[in-house]
Amino acid sequence: MKTNTTLTRKTKETNVSITIDLNNNDSSIQTSIPFLDHMLTAFAYYANLSLTIRASGDTEIDQHHLVEDIGITLGRAFQELIYQDIGRKRFASITIPMDEALSQVTLDFSNRPYLIFNDQPKNEFIGTYQVNNTKEFFYAFSIESRITLHINVIYGENDHHMIESYFKALGLAFKEALTITTENVTSTKGAL
């Protein structure tokens, strides 16, 4: 069973390299966007896996290309590790509070990509991070990893708290869904 992978995506706009190791939990993330580094570090910590990310891009235009390409590359890397012929738990639903914010992440390693994203940010920026790119990240990530992903902010006032609560919830949901529970693929169809 494959437990680690490295993928690179290089375009005229971005250069992204990502390594995932499911048997390690020592991450090093440098995207040139400090808030995104913070969120991806939280995700990896709660997923109990190692992420090494080196990413740069044309952020002088804005952060969209880089954030989206990190989502694409991370999703493709996870796709390599999720869909092996082993019986992962597959489903998970986690609700996480962070101060006044409460978020729920529900996912299925279904091999059928879909995103539901319910967050209404209050501000355009957190530090230098352009908040509207968060949905773009998750859209690219869910499509490329081929997971069904529902992210719902139940309530909250502080954008940092709301976003961090669902990145942490995503990590815990990944940790649970990655668990191997049987030798067979977890599907009544016998295939994902």
Tell me the residue type at 183: E
pLDDT at 183: 75
What is the CA 140 to chain-centroid distance, rounded?
10
Q: How far apart are CA 32 and CA 163, in angstroms?
A: 18
User: b vs e for 69-100, b when ≥16 Cβ sit within 10 Å of the residue's Cβ?
Assistant: bbbbbbbbbbbebbbeeeebebebebbbebee
- The 10s digit of each residue's pLDDT in 57-94 is 999 999 999 999 999 999 999 999 999 878 889 999 99
- The 10s digit of each residue's pLDDT in 171-184 is 999 999 999 988 77
Residue 121, burial from CB neighbour count under 10 angstroms (0-12, 13-18, 19+):
middle
As a CATH number, domain 4-182 is 3.30.230.40
Q: Which position has the token pair 């804005």?
A: 62
Q: How far apart are CA 133 and CA 189, in angstroms?
A: 36
- The 10s digit of each residue's pLDDT in 138-167 is 999 999 999 999 999 999 999 999 999 999
**Per-residue pLDDT at 98 exceeds 80:** yes
**What residues pair up with 116 in beta bridges, in sequence order?**
150
Domain ranges of the chain: 4-182
